Chain A
Amino acid sequence: MRNALTIAGAELRLFLRDRSNLFFVFVFPLMLVLMIGLQFGEGASSGRVAVSGAGSALQTGLVERLEDGDVVVSDPSWDDALALLARGRLDVAVRVDGAAATAYDAGEAVTLEVVRGSSGNAQVVEQQVGVGVDALRSARSRILALEANGVPSDRAEAALAAAEGEVSAPRLEVTSVDRLSQEFEGMGQFEFGASGQLLLFTFLACLGGAATLIQARRLGVVSRMLAGPVTAEELVAGQVLGRWAIALFQGGYLMVATSVLFGVEWGSLPLALLVLLLFSLVAAGAAILLGTLLENEGAAAGAGIGFGLVLAALGGSMFPLELFPDTMRTISRFTPHAWAYEALADVQRRGAGLVEVLPELGVLAAMAALLVALGSWSLRRSLARAM
């Protein structure tokens, strides 16, 4: 076992020693998680609004209300706001002029100039602005009514705030009956990107190890090891362990980094790690098989990337499995990515326990056993052939 660990340690060291890996292992996956999160995550629908004006109670109140609703608010000049809108940097531009401010202060109907952009989200954001202004006007009317009845302005505001605190707002529970909505329930902004890229890059990093195995065979390093007191079983175990360690390193790094940088929730950590362990073992078996079936490092690197990308695409790492048509969903079941994706989705979004994800884990374990056995057999065969 010591010899196997020594060989595995050397493989991991070689992986980390490769400078090109620094970008593709540590930086690139996180960039993709960020981009996917910004484009498709729930945070993308918050909206971007410019509120222009000379400064008034209406403007201040509107900004606060929109920001409470997670809308990104800026206060450029009106011309700048229109330019930003034209370039697609804003969803809605609002101008609070002197007349509107005066009308608001007087408790009268407020007319605002609102320009909506062309983004898909603009209509919703415009509605948020309208609801916000209505709510502000309503509050202002109540204060004015109290003042008209002799209540000082500061006491009127305090009384309204106290009254709001005492009254429970009606609770509205929305239950979605749409299957698709239910499947995405509980998913944060970066969760899809994180789990998808975790599977994609874990598999890719491991398949990249196929080239180092070919190099070791070509250089005679593998034969040299066998000329020492090292059994063929130890050598095969070391090669599998080495690639397993590479996959676990990549996957573990992405779990930690996305959790720290993007606040991704991985659900039950032991279960998420179990999924990663089994998925990585599948990748290790595939890497050994690829590294023994091919004789050229360049071909192995190219095949590894191509194979890894196709499996990831079919397995839901690039586009959510939930949105696949039925035929593609059936095909995806032949990839380890799909089973790992579903297991992670259960653990992350639905709080699933071990029993609930046992079917996915079982399939991953079976795939791992098959590929590791095939890879080991193929490696032993290639060693015999090389001698």
Chain B
Amino acid sequence: MTHDVLVVDSLVRRFGDLTAVDEVSFRIAPGETYGLLGPNGAGKTTTISMVAGLIAADAGTVTVAGEPMTPRAIEPKRHLGLVPQELAIYPDLTGRENLTLFGRLQGLRGSELKVRVDEVLALIGLADRAKDRSKEYSGGMKRRLNIGIGLLNRPTLLILDEPTVGVDPQSRNAILESVEALSGEGMAVLYTTHYMEEAERLCDRIGIIDSGRLQAEGTRDDLIRLTGGVDTIRLGGSGDLAAAAEELRLIPGVERVDAERRSATLTVKDAPALVAQVVGTAADCGVTLADVEITRPDLESVFLHLTGKGLRD
């Protein structure tokens, strides 16, 4: 039987009259990357603050590697690596000194500490700049150091709170590749973001959170199905597409066709599987296609469907 690395059960946190986190529950298995997707102020950071034992929950429980997590707990924190959204590093210490300091606080000592610091420096690509003060690093390098500190204790659960905010595209891609690699090594990852593309790329399962409530969770495809799970194929070209529409409607899997003379929009179950047959049928009907566009529902559509607003609203 495989135990979940993280079990969050009915978590509640209030700040005065505001309920920032309201009955949130989810689990993460070993090697799984779980994304908390939601706009700013949705309750993501408050949730992970409770998961990391930084603040107490008003109700509900958090269990990390089988140990109950509270602000005073020590054992579950040994299994945890936290990468906060802000750059939580000392600017006047070098990269190596920052890693050594946090490594010591994680309980590493002597040669074990030195070896691990060297490993992490190599992993985050800062071995050449290890002796430079971190305030002299570029934004991307600081982000990498911020992540590296979270990896020092080889955590069972790595929590990444919006790690790509304010990062240039190149560094962002490097960070995403690192997270993919860590997940591939069996580390459970809790990843919060308001970038839909990151959640789609990295996460095995995604929890959509808004106004403190977990609106839905599942794989990307599970979530897409909530919207009805239909794709669209849009055709454009010369020839009479309105006349071809009748033939196109007969293709199994095509649910609806809205056609005009020079364009047609097909609602289908699985666009990638049907597109070749659709294009062939149109050609058989004398249509010369100039444009074929497939649109599949994404997490933005799911969020819109669930909350009535966009991710970046």
Residues of A within 8 A of B (CB): 2-3, 6-7, 10, 13-14, 17-18, 215-216, 219-221, 223-232, 384, 387
Q: With A6-B105, A10-B90 in contact, do A224 and B82 touch (Cβ < 8 Å)?
A: yes
B102 & A224 in contact (Cβ 8 Å cutoff): yes
Shortest distance between the CB of B65 and any CB in chain A (Å): 13
Question: At the interface, yes or no: B309 with Cβ under 8 Å from chain A?
Answer: no
**Is B116 interfacial (CB-CB < 8 Å)?**
no
Whether A219 lies near B49 (C-beta < 8 A) is no
Residue among A2, A17, A223, A226 making CB contact with B92, cutoff 8 Å:
A17
Say yes or no: is B80 at the interface (Cβ < 8 Å to chain A): yes
Q: How far is the CB of A276 from chain B (nearest CB, A)?
A: 27
Residues on A with C-beta less than 8 A from B54 are 223, 226-227, 387
B77 touches A228 (CB 8 A): yes
In the bound assembly, the distance between CA atoms of A212 and B55 in angstroms comes to 23
Complex CA distance for A224 and B104, rounded to whole angstroms: 13
Q: Please judge, given known A-B contacts A17-B92, A227-B54, whether A6 and B101 are in contact too, CB under 8 Å.
A: yes
Residue in A18, A231, A384 whose CB lies within 8 Å of B74: A231
Q: Does B196 contact A (CB under 8 A)?
A: no
Q: How far is the CA of A223 from the CA of B71 in the complex (A)?
A: 11
- Per-residue interface assignment for chain B, residues 51 to 84, with 1 indicating a CB less than 8 Å from any chain A CB and 0 otherwise: 0111100000000000000011011011010101
> Is B93 touching A14 in the complex (CB atoms < 8 A)?
yes
Q: Say whether, besides A229-B77, A229-B107, A223 and B88 are in contact (CB < 8 Å).
A: yes
Cα–Cα distance between A216 and B101 once the two chains are bound (Å): 14
Question: A221 to chain B: which residues have CB within 8 Å?
Answer: 88-90
Contacting pair A230 B105 (CB below 8 A): yes
Are A229 and B74 interface neighbours, CB within 8 A? Answer: yes
A-B contact pairs, 5 of them (CB 8 A): A216-B90, A219-B88, A220-B84, A225-B105, A227-B53
Q: Are A228 and B106 in contact (CB under 8 A)?
A: yes
Looking at the assembled complex, report how far the CB atom of B108 sits from the nearest CB atom of chain A, in whole angstroms.
11
Counting CB contacts under 8 A, is B87 at the interface?
yes
Task: Say how far A152's CB is from chain B's closest CB, in angstroms.
Answer: 79
Give which listed residue, A2, A219, A228, contacts B102 with CB less than 8 A. Answer: A228
Considering the chains assembled together, what is the distance between the CA atoms of A59 and B296 in angstroms?
110
| CB nearest to A218 among chain B residues | B86
Q: B93 contacts which of A10, A228, A231 (Cβ < 8 Å)?
A: A10
B149 at the interface (CB under 8 A from A): yes
Count of chain B residues with a beta carbon within 8 Å of a chain A beta carbon: 31
Residue among A2, A18, A226, A232 with the highest chain B CB neighbour number at 10 A: A226
Distance between A298 CB and nearest chain B CB, rounded to angstroms: 15
B200 at the A interface (CB under 8 A): no
Please provide the 8 A-B residue pairs with the shortest distance between their CB atoms, ordered closest to farther: A220-B88, A224-B88, A227-B82, A220-B86, A387-B55, A227-B52, A6-B104, A229-B74
* Given contacts A228-B77, A229-B77, A17 and B93 within 8 Å (CB-CB): yes
Chain A residues near B80 (CB, 8 Å)?
227-228
B-side interface residues toward A, CB under 8 Å?
49, 52-55, 71-72, 74-75, 77-78, 80, 82, 84, 86-93, 97, 101-102, 104-107, 149, 153
Residues from chain A with Cβ under 8 Å of B89 in the complex: 219, 221
Closest to B77 in A: A229
A365 to chain B, nearest CB (A): 30
- Taking a contact as CB atoms under 8 Å apart, the answer to whether B86 and A219 are in contact is yes
Complex contacts, A3 vs chain B, CB 8 Å = 104-105
- In the bound complex, residues from chain A placing their C-beta under 8 Å from that of B102 are 224-225, 228
CB atoms of B72 and A231 under 8 A apart = yes
A387 touches B84 (CB 8 A): no
User: Given A229-B77, A229-B78, A231-B72, A387–B90 Cβ distance below 8 Å?
Assistant: no
Select the residue from A7, A223, A227, A230 with max chain B CB neighbours within 10 A: A227
Contacts of A13 in B (CB 8 A): 93, 97
- Collect the chain A residues with CB atoms within 8 Å of residue B84's CB: 220, 223-224, 227
The residue in chain B whose Cβ has the minimal distance to the Cβ of A235 is: B105
Measured CB to CB, the closest approach of chain A to B8, in angstroms, equals 16
Taking CB as reference atom, which chain A residue is nearest B82? A227
The residues of A that contact B104 with a CB separation of less than 8 Å are 2-3, 6
Q: Which residues of A contact B71 (CB under 8 A)?
A: 226, 232
A10 to B97 Cα, complex, angstroms: 9
- B149:A224 contact, CB within 8 angstroms: yes
Q: Point out the residues of chain A lying under 8 angstroms from B74, CB to CB.
A: 229, 231
Contact B77 A227 (CB under 8 A): yes
List, in ascending order, chain B residues with CB within 8 A of A225's CB: 102, 105
A14-B90, A228-B77 given; 18 more Cβ-contact pairs under 8 Å = A10-B90, A13-B93, A18-B92, A216-B90, A220-B88, A221-B89, A224-B82, A224-B88, A225-B102, A227-B82, A228-B82, A228-B105, A228-B153, A229-B74, A229-B75, A229-B77, A229-B107, A232-B72
Complex CA distance for A387 and B71, rounded to whole angstroms:
11
How far, in whole Å, are A223 and B91 apart by their CA atoms in the complex? 16
A224-B82, A224-B149, A229-B78 known; A10 vs B88 contact (CB < 8 Å): no
Residues in chain A near residue B52, CB distance under 8 A: 227
Q: Closest Cβ of chain B: how far from A24's Cβ, in Å?
A: 16
In the complex, what residues of B have CB within 8 A of residue A227's CB? 52-54, 77, 80, 82, 84
